[in-house]
Structure 1
Amino acid sequence: MTVFLPEPARVDDHTIVITGASSGVGRAAARALSRLGATVAVVGRNPERTRAVASEIGAKPYIADFTDLGAVRSLADELLTDLPKIHVLANNAGGTFTTRTPTKDGYDVTFQSNHLSPFLLTTLLLPRLLETAQDATPGTVRIIQTSSGANAFGKVVLDDLDNHRGPWVNGFRAYCASKLENVLFTRELARRLRGTNVSAYAFHPGFVASAFGGGSAFVELGQKLAAITPEEGAEPLVRLAAATTVPAPSGNYFDRLKAPGRVARQANDGRLAAELWAGSELRAGVRSPV
């Protein structure tokens, strides 16, 4: 059965962390959620743009480069020091990369930026989210992944998460795989969080007219054919963060405002999701509290 996300409500008592908030969908979501009363932690890689967004909405900027796992750990420490409660974590940071490049940690930049670093941040912030859920209205503490319809074209190969094998195709294969990893992560996270009052969702924002593509030909083509504004692209994120209830079980993937969205066949492989989780823990050097 298809369900649709309801309109967002006021969230005056909510603290919401948004990564990738210095531009595009993240910036639009930060503005919208601030107008709804939320305290927004604005996380971005570019110091100037991140500070500008934070200043605009009266928030604090947090600077972190997701190609550096050490920076993600420092970000988590800073957020945990500053925020006694976290109601929503929106893992929105990510991108496409036209060249096959290793990070300083030795992992493929697409895999690390789009999956491994958000996985690490979520794991480090999860105890605070679980604590917040103990006193919050049931169902209002949420973890949100910005995925993509491109997940349907992805394939996750556990012994090649760094995308060493096969053609690079201007980053298309790696990007699609990482967006499928977002869905698998969300589903395994939802499974592990059963009974905790913390829920997890992923969504496709649509093809957004922004600088997100980073020169990727396939993203630029999609934007030309069916581009929507960053504000429109942010709508699912805003609703998932601020709707009083989400009319779909935790673990669902929304295609914009409706669920269930189209996913790759591998997205329904629970064993693959569990093995991706274990491999991510190993690579990030972290153990999950759930």
Structure 2
Amino acid sequence: MDRDALRMVCSPQFWRMGVLWTLSLLYSYLLLFLRGWTAAPRRREDVGRGRRPICVVTGVILNCPNRSVCLFYRIITTVFHGAPPSDGAPSMVCDGSQATSGLGRAAAAALAREGYSVVLAGRSAQLLSETAKEIRRQQPDACLEAFQVDLSSYRSIKKFEASLNQWIRDSNLEPSIQLLINNAGMLAKSHRVTEDGIDEVMQTNYIGPFILTSILLPLLKNSPVPSRVVNLTSFTHRCVSEIDVSEEALQGVKFGQHSVGGSYPLASTYEYTKFCLLVFSYELHRQLHISSGISVMAADPGVIETRIMRELPPCLSQFAFFILRTLNLLQQPDTGIGAVLDAALAPPEASGKYFFGGKGRTIRSSVLSYDIEVAKKLWAASSALLQELRLRDCELRTG
């Protein structure tokens, strides 16, 4: 174990992830067990005239483990099972044709099969291109369009909006979208400030999706059929026991203060961002479902083996995956996508629900997440921050 991994093991945040996150996950499964098997059916809205509904999926990449991770996986499997993975076992080697897929790619591929025209949105143009090629290799008739967007940048989101609208016009499509899936997310081990002056994890996981949803609302409202927003949240929101939703808190100032003279609170930061995204989902539902017919769902896929822990020491992230796999709590993206598809394809009356466990099932989120006063304060602070970013961008353009 290297020094970086040892330092991580000795930090309270590591044990917060190892203990509290696991308990939160198990509690969610307990709620699922007590909930029973009542499920929401899936269906796709028909926009008519032979047109495909348009779906925007953020955070779409191919998930490529590095060689050190692959080596660790082989070693730990040999130690605990007496033999390395067989030739028939799923390969951890990533190449253009056998890459392990990320959650966004799995969602995009599944929705393309459902007949959606899927807009792939992500940071890397190269990875977007590779993802589109991989989906088309499996589905030659898939209708895909890829756009670069960095949710940690207001200017990048505005550029994406302009590109999306231009593509819709050039394609002679209705100026509307039917489905937005906010899937982008990250877990960082250090405090980094974006060009907008916001903590990078905070902006990528919550502020960015809030801005993107706000900017795309006109297209969602213009849909000829009921449209939908699906926000990918996490069981880790249950670890949040008290909440500060001031504008300063949303900028991640307190996270930066914690990292001065100490370690960055990576677990607490991630929990907070996912809690905010969940509360935003509920408030968006309250504001839009009755007035505009837009349904808003929260989807919790559970623990998926993706690249979200790529900044952690490989030996620790893969050991965590090994333990979760042994407990049968770890899912691959293609099988763990159930809750996301359930939320995307459920009937409109399921708006405001928290989807978890697949098979159309929903459970209750934390008590705090249903606090309407917290939701209103979060909405006000988020809107004020968005207005500041708009004014700043306008000043830069005119100045």
If the length of structure 2 is used for normalisation, what is the TM-score? 0.65
Residue in 2 that maps onto 1:33: 111
Equivalents in 1 of 2:109, 2:362: separation in Å? 27
Q: Note the alpha carbon deviations across 1:16-48, whole angstroms, 9 max, x for none.
A: 000012231100111111112110000011111
Looking at structure 2, the residues matched to 5 and 220 of structure 1 have their Cα atoms a distance apart, in angstroms, of 34
Question: Can you list the C-alpha shifts for 1:66-120, whole angstroms capped at 9, x where unaligned?
Answer: 1211101111222233232200000111111111111111101111000001100
Cα distance between partner residues in 1 of 2:229 and 2:273: 17
- 2:129 maps to 51
Q: Is the CA contact (8 Å cut-off) linking 2:188 and 2:201 kept in structure 1?
A: yes
Question: Any idea what the Cα deviations from partners look like across 1:137-173, whole Å, max 9, x if unmatched?
Answer: xxx4110001011111125312423143557565100
The code of the aligned residue for 2:375 comes to A
Gaps of 5+ in 1: none
Q: Return 157-166 or 57-66, whichever deviates more.
A: 157-166
**Quick one: structure 1 residues 209 and 184, their matched pair in 2 at CA, closer, same or farther if it must change by over 3 Å?**
same
Letter in 2 for 1:75: F
Partner of 2:186: 95
Distance 1:286 1:8 in 2: 39
Matches within 5 A, 1:250-265: 250-257=351-358, 260-265=362-367
In structure 1, what is the equivalent of residue 60 of structure 2?
21
Residue 180 of structure 1 contacts residue 264 of structure 1 at CA under 8 Å; is this kept in 2? no
Matched, 1:223 2:314: no
Over residues 198-247 of structure 1, what are the superposed CA-to-partner deviations in whole Å (9 max), with x where a residue is unaligned? 1101111111111122234787565331210111222222232234x256
Separation (CA, whole Å) in 2 of partners of 1:201 and 1:53: 25
- The answer on whether the counterparts of 1:16 and 1:41 sit within 8 Å (CA) in structure 2 is yes
In structure 2, the CA distance between the partners of 1:64 and 1:205, relative to structure 1 (3 Å rule), is same
Structure 1 residues 232, 169: closer, same or farther in 2, change over 3 A? farther
The residue aligned with 1:281 is 383
| C-alpha contact (below 8 Å) 2:340/2:355 kept by paired residues | no
Instruction: Say if 1:17 and 1:219 are closer, same or farther in 2 by CA, change over 3 A.
Output: farther
Q: What is residue 13 of structure 2 aligned with on the other side?
A: none
- Superposition deviation, residue 10 in structure 1: 8.1
C-alpha displacement at 1:186, in angstroms?
0.3
2:152 paired with 1:67? yes
Kindly indicate whether the alpha-carbon contact (under 8 Å) linking 1:203 and 1:256 is maintained by their aligned counterparts in 2.
Answer: no
Aligned with residue 156 of structure 1, among 240, 243, 247: 243
Structure of higher CA gyration radius: 2
Aligned residues: 280
CA distance in 2, matches of 1:185, 1:45: 23
Determine if contact 2:228/2:344 at 8 Å carries over to the other structure.
Answer: yes
The root-mean-square deviation of aligned C-alpha atoms, in Å, is 2.4
Contact 2:221–2:294, Cα closer than 8 Å, also in 1: yes
Contact 1:33 1:242 in 2 (8 A): no
1:195 Cα deviation from its structure 2 partner = 2.8
TM-score between the two structures when normalised by the length of structure 1:
0.87
Gaps of at least 5 residues in structure 2 are: 1-34, 63-101, 137-141, 169-174, 390-399
**Aligned partner of residue 280 in structure 2, secondary structure:** helix
230-239 or 146-155, which deviates more: 230-239
- The change in CA–CA distance for 1:7 and 1:144 in structure 2 (over 3 A counts) is same
1:6 corresponds to? 41
Q: What is residue 343 of structure 2 aligned with on the other side?
A: 240
Report the CA distance shift for 1:268/1:219 in structure 2 as closer, same or farther (over 3 A). Answer: farther
Question: Which stretches of structure 1, 4 residues or longer, exceed 6 Å deviation after superposition?
Answer: none
Q: Deviation of residue 285 (structure 1)?
A: 2.2
What is the rounded CA distance, in whole Å, between the counterparts of 2:214 and 2:192 in structure 1?
25
Greater CA drift, 80-89 or 188-197: 80-89
1:102-141 equivalences under 5 Å are 102-132=193-223, 135-136=224-225, 140-141=226-227
Kept in 1, the 8 Å contact 2:258–2:265? The answer is no
Alpha-carbon distance change, 231 to 268 in structure 1, aligned in 2, over 3 angstroms: same
Amino acid at match of 2:335: E
Q: Which residue of 2 aligns with 1:142?
A: 228
Moved more, 115-124 or 277-286: 277-286
Q: Structure 1 residue aligned with 2:302, among 206, 209, 219?
A: 206
Q: How does 1:182-193 map to 2 (within 5 A)?
A: 182-193=277-288
1-structure distance, mates of 2:53, 2:265: 40
Q: Which piece of structure 1 moves more, 208-217 or 20-29?
A: 208-217
SS of the residue corresponding to residue 303 of structure 2 reads coil
Give the AA of the match of 2:59: G
CA 1:90–1:4: 2 relative to 1, 3 Å:
same
Distance in structure 2 (CA, Å) of the matches to 1:26 and 1:89:
12
Q: CA deviation at 1:273?
A: 0.9
